[in-house]
Every structure is written in C-alpha cells, then in structure tokens.
Structure 1
Amino acid sequence: MNEPQRYTIASLEAFVESALLAGGADAPSARAATRAMMHGSRLGVDSHGVRLLPYYLSVIASGEVNGVPQLVVERGSGATAVLDADGAIGHLACYRAMEEAVDIATSQGIGAVTIRRMSHMGAAGAYALWAAEQGHIGLLVANSDAAVRLFDGRNAFHGTSPIAVGAPAPGQDRPWLLDMATSAIPMNRVLLYRSLGVALPDGVAVDETGRPTNDADAARVLSPLGAAQGYKGAGLAGLVEILSAPLTGMLLSTELSPMYGASTGKPRDMGGFALAINPAAFVGPEIYGAIMARYLANIRAAEPAEGASGKPMAPGDREWAVEAERLRNGVPVDPVSVAAFAELSARYGLTLPERA
C-alpha cells in the first residue's frame, strides 16, 4: 500500500481555497468548493475530498466550469424554486439551492428546489448536513455521467447517483447523516484505491469484458448497490435520475460528457434536486427531539451480531469519529494528490500545507 501524507486541517483548507482563487474561481465559488471538499476530507469521504482539487482547477481552466457564475433563483408556485447555476461549480450551486430550500421551508414547512446547469458537486452529504445544522431535514440528489451498469446489465447506464439526507438531532452532539452512492462504490473511490495501490472489495466493479474484478486499475464499470439484489440499487439510481433530469430539464446520465477524459470545454449541464423539511411544521419540537433521541439511543444500544466487526452505529457516527481523529492528527492525502499539490504550489506560487 502507498502511504498517504497527513496535513493540518487549517493549512490544507487555506491551500485549497488559495489554489482555486489562483486558478480562476471567484470568491464564492472557491469558498463553497473548499467547504465541500474539506467536509469530505474531515469526515473520511476521501474520494470526494481535497484529492479532487486538480480536477476542479482543470475544468475551470478549460471552460467546462464557469468560475465566475451568475446564479439566478426563480421562486415557483407554492414551496418550489428553480436555481439556474450558470455552469457554476456544483458545490456553489448545491449550497445555494439548499439555502433556498431551507428559507422556503422555514415559512412554508417544506421547500423544494431544482438545480439546472451545474457541474460535479462532490460529497452530497455536505449540503444535507448544512440543512440539518439549521434545524431542517435536508435531502440532496444529483445525477452524473454514466458509470454504473444496470442490474444484469454490462454497460454503464446510471451515474453513481448519490443520495444524501441530514436530520437534526436536538440534544445530540451531531445530526443524523446519510450520504451514499447508489452504486456499490463511487468511481472516485476506485481512483483513490488506484493511487493507494489497494484492491477493490468483491462485487463492486467489472472489467472491460464485463467480468467482476478486484483490480482497481482494471475496473471499467461499477455495479449497482445490492450485489445479488442489485435491482434495488439500480432502482434508487433511477429515482435520482428522475429528480435530476426530467424534473430539471437537464441531461440523462447516458447523455452527460464524462467527468474524466478530454474536456469538451463546454458546460456539462447537470441537474440536481434539494429538499428541506421543517419538522416544526408537522410536530412539536419537543416531540421530534425526544423521539429522535430515543431512536439514536436504541441504535447505539443494539446488540452486535456474532462475528461482527463492530457495534451498530447510526448514520454519521463513523464520520464523526473520523473527524475527531483527523482534528487531532491531520488529514491523510494520497500520494498522487501529494504530487499534484506540489505542482500546483509551483504553478501558482503557493505555500504547501503543513505536515501534521
């Protein structure tokens, strides 16, 4: 295994934001992208953390992402709105959409915002978590270029089609947080495993012949979540597709230009969907908080199965534990990204982040 290097969180965050500003992103775009990437790197979602910095700089430089977008929100009927992201980096578009959804839900009880003309948005959990921290249940989905086969299919059809949900947990240290791909593994995790020289788990990808592979270098198409019941993962991916393409007027996963490969220099016109629910519109805050507390306590008190690798955890528990460790010991960065950071430092005259 190729060992990562660890960097202090503060210096890594400063480096990432400085590089984005130097590479052509305006201040709101750089701040949003840095926030979302650091969310991934702090919480252990390394596939969607700071390792994506070189990619985002490349698509800003090519014109595939608009580094100085003019976002426009149009309120619709009832509790709806449409955000036109103007080709923005997806992090800015998703934070802005969730902010709008929460604003609507604060007065209307629920807020739904479709997102048009955005790009890759990184770790979807960043936006759902922000909503939960505002006291709302937040859901964020977005499609992406085809990388996942259908159940019993061979070729790429859906994107990794993430679903993220955050729910406030009054009286608890942190919210309930679910952030999952509908594929067995995200493509960016395959790329991370390539950099680290780590084998893939069983059943997560197939090679160019359609045969299952554990070789990250040989993986070409991902498998849907669920293994022998992969129709469930494919069905969830279909739900994300409906909310991200037909509902927004944007492209299907099979029609989107690939995230990796030669850039077209044109916006990818991806779609997404943000939903916020204000619990207080449905039930008294004390009732919601008490039931959430019991629910989380029951999960954490559940008896582990014989031979289990650990005890049952609520969604988000692993991430909070990883974050606490990384606040103490720094964020690990894979070798490919370490080399890329050195090149970016030389290109833009930036100070490299500090070793932890």
Structure 2
Amino acid sequence: MSEPQRYTSSSLEAFLESALLAGGADVPSARAATRAMMHASRLGVDSHGVRLLPYYLSVLASGEINGHPQIEVLRGEGATAVLDADGAIGHLACYRAMEVAVDIARTQGIGAVTIRRSSHMGAAGAYPMWAAEQGFIGLLTANSDAAVRLFDGRDAFHGTSPIAIGAPVPGQRPWLMDMATSAIPQNRVLLYRSLGLRLPQGVAVDEKGVNTTDPEAARVLSPVGGEQGFKGAALAGLVEILSAPLTGMALSTELVPMYGQPSTGAPRDMGGFALAINPSAFIAPEIYGAIMIRYLANIRAAVPAEGATGKPMAPGDREWAVEEERARNGVPVDPVSEEAFAELAGQYGLTLPQKA
C-alpha cells in the first residue's frame, strides 16, 4: 500500500482554485468546485475530494462543462422552483439550488428545487450541510451515469445515486448523512487502485457479474445492502425518480459516462433535486432543538455491542473527528493525484501545495 502525503488545507484550497481558473472556469464556478472538493477532503470523503481536480479540468477543456454558465432560476407553483444550470459544474449548480430552496423555505416553510442541465457535483453532503448551518433541514439527490447493477442483475443500471441530508443541531455540528445507494462509490474504486488496496467483499462484480475484491477487475458496483441489496436498488430508484422524470433529464442508462475516454465534449445534462425545510414552520425552535440535542446524546450514550470495534455514532460524527485530525495533521493526497498536480503546476505555472 502506498501511503499518501499530507498537505496543508489552505495551500490545497489555493491550488485547486488557481488551477480551475487557469483551466477555464469563471470565479463562481472555481470557488464552488473548490469549496465542495475541500469539504470532501477535510471530512475524509477522499473519493470525491481533491483527487477529482484533473477530471474537472479535462471536462472544462473538452467543453463538457460550461465554465461560464448563465444559471437561470424559474419560480414554479407554491414553494417550488426550477434551476437551469446551463451545463455548469455540478458544485455551482447544487449550491445555487440549495440556496434557492432555503430562500423559499424562509417564507414558505419548505422549498423544493429541481436541477436541470447539471454535471458531476462531488460529495452530495456539502449542500445539505450548508443548509443545516443556516438552520434548515436540507436534502439533495442527483442521478449519474449507470455504474450499479440491480439486485440479482449483472449490468450497470442505476448511477451511484447519492442521498444526502443535513439537520441543524443547536450548539453542535449538524446531523449529516451522505450515502451512495451503491455499496461504495465508483470514485472509491479508482482511489483504491491508486493506493493499491483490495476492495471490501460484496461491493463490486467483474465483467461476468462475479463478486471481486480486485479494484482492477471491478466493472460494475453492487447496490448497498449485500444480501438485502434490493433495498439499495429501490433507494436508487427513488433518486432516479427525483432526478430524471421530475426534471425532464435523462435516465442513468442514457447519460454521457463520467469517464468516457476521451470526453466527446457533449454536456452530461444531469438532473438533481434540492429540498429545504424550515423547522420553525412546524414546531417552536426551542422544542426542535431540545429534541435534536437529546436524540444525539442518546445515540452517543448507547451501549456498544459485544465485540464492536467502536461505539455508536450519529451520522456525521466520524466526519467531524476526521476533520479535526486533518486540521492538525494535513489533508492526505494519494500518489496518482500528486503526480497529476505536478503536471498541472507545470502546465499552468502554478505553485504546488505545501506539505503539512
């Protein structure tokens, strides 16, 4: 196994934004993508963090992503809106959609925004986490090109179909769930290839549909749930409904592949869905807050099972612990990404990030 080097968070952030600007992104696009990638890398979601910079630069160069989008928001009926991303980088589209949803929820109690003509948006948790930090419950889903088989299926059918939800907790970090409906995300397979690691059992199959732990042989991911994988496949279907039929965008099996070689320059035209809920529209804020605090305290006080390797944690607890550790010791960057960063620095005349 290759040990990743550690870099300071601030220098990585500066490098990402500079590279994106040099690669053709406008300031809002570069800042949104940098913010979301750093969210992932700071919290330990390395598959969707800084390692994706070369990919985003490649699709900016090909024209697959519009680096200077004219995003349009159309208000719908009641508490709804439609955001046309104009082929924007997905991070910008999703932050904007969540901002619109929160703005609507301030007066309507709830805000629902569909996202059209978007692209890959990285770690889905970045967007509802922002909503939670504003005092709102946030939810975001988005589909992606087919990479996950159906339960008892062989071939790719759904995308990794993430579901992310954030809920505010007074005086604490949010309750934050960010999960793919596949057993692991596709980008983690690529990360494991870079690090020389074996995949966990039951998360991917080879070209014949046989389970494999070899990241080089993995061709299709499995739905979350193992022997109960029909549940993960059904959750992926929920994401598909919110992201394709509700938005008018393509199904996962019809989308331009994320890693088409080389990129054709065709926009991916992905769909997504953002929801914001204002707790005070339903219950007094002090009641909501007291129950959330008590709920999380009960989770953390739960007795571990015999033989457990850890203690019960609320969704987000692991991420906050990783964030604290990386603030002290730096953010890890895998060897393949290090090589790519060096090439980008030479190409664009950039200063490489500093080692921690």
Q: TM-score range, shorter-chain basis?
A: over 0.9
For the 8 Å contact 2:225–2:231, the answer to whether it is kept is: yes
Between the aligned partners of 2:302 and 2:30, the Cα distance in structure 1 is: 42
CA distance in 2, matches of 1:193, 1:8: 23
What's the offset of the Cα at 1:261?
Answer: 2.2
Gaps of 5+ in 2: none
1:89-100 aligned at under 5 Å gives the runs 89-100=89-100
The aligned amino acid for 2:161 is: S
Tell me the equivalent position of 2:325. Answer: 325
- Aligned-partner Cα distance in 1 for 2:215–2:72: 40
The residue identity in structure 2 corresponding to 1:257 is V
Give the secondary-structure state (helix, strand or coil) at the position aligned to 2:85. strand
| 1:171 CA displacement | 2.4
In the alignment, is the contact (CA less than 8 A) between 1:87 and 1:268 conserved in 2? yes
**Are residue 352 (structure 1) and residue 352 (structure 2) matched?**
yes
> Are the counterparts in 2 of residues 191 and 216 from structure 1 also a CA contact under 8 Å?
yes
Q: Could you say which residue in structure 1 is the equivalent of 2:29?
A: 29
Matched, 1:180 2:179: yes
AA partner of residue 255 (structure 2): L
- Note the C-alpha offset of 1:14: 0.2
The equivalent residue for 2:337 is 337
Verify: 1:241 aligned to 2:256, yes or no: no
Letter of the 1:117 counterpart: R
Unaligned runs of 5+ in 1: none
**Helix, strand or coil: the match of 2:86?**
strand
Give the aligned partner of residue 135 of structure 1.
135
Which amino acid in the other structure matches residue 64 of structure 2? E
Amino acid at match of 2:79: A
CA displacement 1:296-322 (0-9 Å, x = unmatched)? 000000000011110000000000000
Name the counterpart of 2:209: 210
Are the counterparts in 1 of residues 256 and 266 from structure 2 also a CA contact under 8 Å? no
CA distance in 2, matches of 1:180, 1:84: 25
Runs of 4+ in structure 1 over 4 Å off: none
User: How do 1:14-163 residues align onto structure 2 when only pairs under 5 Å count?
Assistant: 14-163=14-163
Query: Separation in 2 of the partners of 1:314 and 1:125?
Result: 15
Cα distance in structure 2, aligned partners of 1:59 and 1:309: 42
Secondary structure of 1:88's partner?
coil
Q: What is the aligned partner in structure 2 of residue 222 from structure 1?
A: 221
Matches within 5 A, 1:255-270: 255-262=254-261, 263-270=263-270
Counterpart check, 1:201 vs 2:210: no
State the Cα distance separating 1:3 from its structure 2 match. Answer: 1.1
Query: Which SS does the other structure have where 2:176 is aligned?
Result: strand
| Corresponding residue of 1:282 | 282
- Residue 200 of structure 1, CA deviation: 0.3
Distance 1:134 1:108 in 2: 16
TM-score, structure 2 as length reference: 0.99
String of CA shifts for 1:138-160, please: whole Å, max 9, x gaps: 00000000000000000000000
> C-alpha offsets along residues 66-120 of structure 1, whole Å, 9 cap, x if unaligned?
0000000000110000000000000000000000000000100000000000000
Partner Cα separation in structure 2 for residue 335 and residue 258 of structure 1: 25
In the alignment of these two chains, the number of paired residues is 355
Q: TM-score, normalised by structure 1?
A: 0.99
Deviation digits for residues 252-306 of structure 1, max 9, x if unmatched?
Answer: 0000011002212011100000000000000000000000001000000000001
Q: CA offsets, 1:33-68, max 9 Å, x none? A: 000000000000000000000000000000000000
Identity of aligned residues (%): 83
Tell me by how many angstroms 1:343 deviates: 0.1
Alpha-carbon contact 1:74-1:82 (below 8 Å) kept: yes
Q: Provide the residue aligned with 2:169 in structure 1.
A: 169
State the Cα distance separating 1:223 from its structure 2 match: 0.2
- Separation in structure 1 between the aligned mates of residue 225 and residue 264 of structure 2, nearest angstrom: 34
Alignment partners' CA distance in 1, 2:337 and 2:18: 16
Q: Any conservation in 1 of the 2:256–2:267 contact (CA below 8 Å)?
A: no
Is 1:192 matched up with 2:191?
yes
| Corresponding position of 1:250 | 249
Structure 1: distance between partners of 2:174 and 2:249: 32
SS of aligned partner of 1:274? strand
**Quick check: 90-99 or 259-268, which moved more?**
259-268
Partner SS state of residue 29, structure 2: helix
Residues 171 and 289, structure 1, Cα contact 8 Å, conserved in 2 = no
